[in-house]
């Protein structure tokens, strides 16, 4: 389903008192000095999805602050989204600086954050993900989960429910006399959500494998993908979700003493890892060069975008690529721009230097960002 942002506006968001962009559904490249406010715009778009956006920020962090103010102001971001059924207004923000959760409204009606997925599905790549293959497994799980969210929005609630149940279980295990009945209930909740998390990750991984194998290779090296972890392994073997749930509940019950002694849960889908191998040289991604690692990550994101872009019942993904162009040579940069256009995706790109986007001029909207002021270039 073709779905694009035609207008974007921000109020008291990060460095912006107010900003508005008429995009008319076009891709956009944002350029300007470091600290000008480019990534803030991408972060605003990333909040049209469940969770904390591309920076993982708390609600109180994103409200604009004047000099001397210790607390950020109430903030809002909104978008007019053009789709096959006409235009929809999507907005999110907080009404008070101390709000514990953000509001989401669609055409003026308050809805849950997950409802935004019917209109917008952002996928992003930021400089912090450059260390994806070098940092711990938690970062790779989060990266994979973002790809799953774009395909299965309910996955966000399952991940959140699993983590919440595990935290409460560990709290109870730390008590002098843990209540076994309460532990039974928490482990049942963790097992139900955890089994579905493992199955959703596996389903996305298999779909990505098929997409990568069927793609015409361009400038980005293909990857061989795997998932380590007991529960993901069961899902890969085709074991049904109810069986995985029952086995996980039993495993958690059996591990109470061990987990209490360790101070953390030692079994569950929070222990799995995304495995990425460079297909051409058979090296684990962590052993590849920085440029190869960046190209592998882009290959995964483009593969997910490609498989979702043809979906009839859900909106196209919107790609947010922060400072990506500067880390690619000219050949790969042009290949990225060409693939974006071939997939008919709406993409937001940032870079310090306008010349990075020379071959995009006329194909995307150019915007100069200077101290949170936006100037649209003439085509």
Structure confidence by residue, pLDDT tens digits, 146-160: 899 888 888 989 999
**Cβ partners under 8 Å of residue 371, min gap 6:** 15, 36, 37
CA–CA separation, 137 vs 130, rounded Å? 14
Domain boundaries, the chain: 1-120+315-379, 134-312
**Fold of domain 134-312:** Glutathione S-transferase Yfyf (Class Pi); Chain A, domain 2 (1.20.1050)
Given this model, what pLDDT does residue 373 score? Answer: 93
Quick one: pLDDT band at residue 98, thresholds 50, 70, 90?
Answer: confident
CA–CA separation, 10 vs 34, rounded Å? 20
Q: Return the minimum-mean-pLDDT range out of 20-34, 60-74, 153-167, 349-363.
A: 60-74
Given this model, what pLDDT does residue 345 score? Answer: 87
Q: Return the minimum-mean-pLDDT range out of 3-12, 93-102, 257-266.
A: 93-102
CA–CA separation, 166 vs 262, rounded Å? 14
Asked, colleague to colleague, whether 1-120+315-379 and 134-312 share their fold, the answer is: no
Q: What is the pLDDT of residues 190-206, one digit of tens each?
A: 999 999 999 999 999 99
What is the pTM assigned to this prediction? 0.88
Quick one: pLDDT band at residue 327, thresholds 50, 70, 90?
Answer: confident
Paired tokens of 304: 């997910």
What number is the average pLDDT over the span 15-39?
A: 94
Quick one: pLDDT band at residue 181, thresholds 50, 70, 90?
Answer: very high
| pLDDT for residue 69 is more than 80 | no
- E strands, the chain, where? 3-13, 16-22, 28-31, 76-83, 86-93, 103-106, 109-111, 121-125, 223-228, 273-278, 317-321, 346-351, 365-370, 373-376
What number is the average pLDDT over the span 26-40?
A: 95
Where residue 372 falls (left for φ over 0; alpha for ψ -120 to 50; beta otherwise) is left
| pLDDT for residue 313 is more than 80 | no
Q: Return the minimum-mean-pLDDT range out of 101-115, 124-138, 217-231.
A: 217-231
Given this model, what pLDDT does residue 318 score? Answer: 92
Given this model, what pLDDT does residue 128 score? Answer: 85
> In CATH, which of 3.20.20.70, 3.40.50.12780, 3.40.50.300, 3.40.50.10860 is domain 1-120+315-379?
3.40.50.300
| pLDDT for residue 221 is more than 90 | no
- Please report, for residues 209, 213, 227, 299, 306, the alpha-carbon distance to residue 217 in angstroms, rounded to integers and kept in the order given: 14, 9, 23, 10, 13
């Amino acid at each position: 389903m073709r779905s694009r942002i035609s207008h974007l506006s921000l109020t008291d968001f990060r460095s912006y008192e107010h900003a508005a962009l008429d995009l008319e559904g076009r891709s956009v490249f944002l350029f300007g000095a470091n600290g000008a406010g480019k990534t803030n715009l991408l972060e605003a778009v990333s909040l049209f999805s469940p969770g904390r956006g591309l920076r993982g920020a708390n609600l109180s962090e994103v409200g604009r602050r004047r000099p001397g103010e210790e607390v950020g102001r109430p903030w809002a971001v909104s978008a007019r989204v053009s789709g096959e059924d006409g235009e929809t207004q999507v907005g999110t923000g907080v009404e008070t600086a101390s709000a514990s959760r953000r509001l989401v409204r669609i055409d003026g009606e308050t809805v849950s954050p997950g409802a935004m997925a019917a209109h917008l599905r952002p996928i992003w790549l930021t400089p912090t993900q450059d260390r994806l293959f070098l940092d711990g497994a938690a970062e790779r799980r989060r990266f994979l989960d973002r790809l799953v969210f774009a395909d299965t929005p309910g996955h966000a609630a399952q991940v959140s429910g699993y983590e919440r149940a595990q935290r409460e279980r560990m709290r109870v295990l730390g008590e002098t006399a843990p209540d076994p009945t309460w532990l039974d209930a928490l482990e049942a909740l963790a097992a139900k959500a955890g089994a579905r998390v493992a199955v959703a990750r596996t389903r996305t991984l298999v779909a990505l494998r098929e997409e990568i194998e069927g793609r015409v290779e361009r400038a980005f090296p293909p990857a061989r993908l795997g998932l380590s972890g007991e529960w993901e392994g069961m899902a890969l073997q085709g074991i049904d979700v109810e069986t995985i749930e029952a086995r996980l509940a039993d495993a958690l019950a059996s591990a109470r003493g061990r987990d209490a002694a360790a101070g953390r849960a030692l079994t569950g889908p929070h222990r799995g890892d995304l495995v990425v191998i460079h297909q051409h040289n058979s090296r684990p991604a962590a052993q590849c060069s920085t440029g190869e690692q960046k190209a592998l990550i882009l290959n995964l994101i483009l593969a997910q975008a490609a498989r979702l872009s043809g979906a009839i019942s859900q909106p196209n993904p919107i790609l947010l690529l922060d400072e990506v162009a500067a880390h690619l040579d000219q050949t790969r940069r042009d290949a990225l721009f060409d693939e974006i256009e071939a997939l008919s995706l709406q993409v937001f790109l940032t870079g310090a230097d306008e010349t990075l986007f020379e071959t995009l001029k006329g194909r995307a909207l150019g915007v100069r960002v200077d101290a949170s002021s936006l100037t649209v270039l003439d085509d």
